[in-house]
Amino acid sequence: MNNSSISRIGKLVIIGVGLIGGSFALALRQAGMVQHIIGIGRNQKNMHSALERGVIDETTMDYATALNDADLVFLAMPVGQTELIMTNIAPHLQSQTIVTDAGSTKQDVIAAAIKHLKSEHIANFVPGHPIAGTENSGVAAAQVDLYQGKHVVLTPLKQTRSHAIETVTQLWQACGAKVSIMPANEHDQILAITSHLPHILAFTMMRYLHHGTGNSESLLRFAGSGFRDFTRIAGSSPEMWRDICLANRDELLKQIDAYQAELKTVQKLIEEKDQDELEQIFYQARAIRQTWIENKNS
C-alpha cells in the first residue's frame, strides 16, 4: 500500500469507545495514523478502562473542548443515540472537521445528520459501516486487528466532499479494511438480509426455547456445537439490536415476511415428504455457502 498520500490525523474524537470505537483507535494508533485520541462515553467504568488500556489519551464529557480543532469525529455509539449525539456535536463542529460513523444502518443516520447538522458539516460527513464485530461489547472487547480484511461500506451523500471520503477511506485502509462505496438504501437492504434478519432469527430461537417450550435448561443440556454457532449472534448487545430493528424497520419487516414465505415452502416440502426437492434445496444451500467461504478465504 502506498501510504504517501495519507495524512496523519492530529486530533481524533471517538464518541462511544466500545468494541468498534476502541478497535478503530487501536488500529489507527498501531498504523501511526493518529496523534491524539479523545474519548467521549456514558459509561465511566468503560471510559476509565479505555484510558488504562491506552486506547484513548483523554476522556471528557465537554463537547466544546473535545471538538475544538478536531480533525475527525468517529461516531461509534449505538444507533439509537444518533439524534442525541448529533444535537450535542452540532454547535461545536468546525468547518474543517470530518465526521464519520459506524452505524449498522445508514439511511436513518443520514436523516439525523441532515436534521441536526449545518450544510457545511454535511459536506464533511461520511456515513460508514464497518462490517466487523463480535458478540462482545465494551472497550474490553476491542482488538487491534478487528478490521483486518473486513469490509467497510461508505454511503456518502451527493454533497459529501471527495476530500472527506478519501480521508475516511484511507483511515479504514490503514486499519486493514476493504472499503466499498454504495448508496445508503442499497446498504440498508443488503444488511437487512445478511445481518439483521439472521440476528432476529437467532434471538427468536433463544426466545422460543425460553418462552415457547418452558423447558430451556433441560433442552440446552443436549444442544450441540451447531446450536452454539447458530445462536452466537443472539449474544449481541440488546440495546444495539433494539436500535437496529427500529432504524431499519421497514426493510427488516419486508425481509422477515419474505423469509417466512420461504420457510413455509420448506415446511410444505417436509409435510409432503418431497425427498428429492428437500435434498436439492440442501445441496444448493451447501453449495452456495461453500463457494462463498472459498471466495472469502481466497
Integer Rg of the chain from CA: 21
Residue 199 engages a second copy in binding (rule: CB under 8 A): yes
Which of positions 100-139 make contact with a second copy (CB under 8 A)? 131-135
Work out how close the CB of 4 gets to a second copy at its nearest, in angstroms, rounded to a whole number. 29
Work out how close the CB of 248 gets to a second copy at its nearest, in angstroms, rounded to a whole number. 9
Element (H, E) at 14: strand 9-15
Give the one residue of 25, 110, 113, 209 binding a second copy; rule: CB under 8 A. Answer: 209
**Closer Cβ to a second copy, 36 or 80, answer by number:** 80
Residue 172 engages a second copy in binding (rule: CB under 8 A): no
DSSP string of 222-266, one letter each residue: T--HHHHHHTGGGGS-HHHHHHHHHHTHHHHHHHHHHHHHHHHHH
Work out how close the CB of 108 gets to a second copy at its nearest, in angstroms, rounded to a whole number. 13
Give the one residue of 110, 201, 214, 298 binding a second copy; rule: CB under 8 A. Answer: 201
Minimal CA–CA distance to 13: which of 45, 57, 79?
57
Element (H, E) at 86: helix 82-89
Three-class DSSP category at 46? helix
Which of positions 218-237 make contact with a second copy (CB under 8 A)? 218-236
Neighbours of 32 (CB within 10 A): 11
Binding segment for a second copy (CB under 8 A), chosen from 58-66, 88-96, 111-119, 209-217, is 209-217
Minimal CA–CA distance to 105: which of 143, 78, 84?
78
Which of positions 134-163 make contact with a second copy (CB under 8 A)? 134-135, 150-151, 153
| Phi, psi angles (nearest 5°) of residue 59 | -130, 145
Work out how close the CB of 39 gets to a second copy at its nearest, in angstroms, rounded to a whole number. 25
Work out how close the CB of 250 gets to a second copy at its nearest, in angstroms, rounded to a whole number. 10
Work out how close the CB of 122 gets to a second copy at its nearest, in angstroms, rounded to a whole number. 25
Give the one residue of 30, 60, 83, 259 binding a second copy; rule: CB under 8 A. Answer: 259
Give the one residue of 64, 84, 140, 263 binding a second copy; rule: CB under 8 A. Answer: 263
Is there a contact between 124 and 98 (Cβ–Cβ < 8 Å)?
A: yes
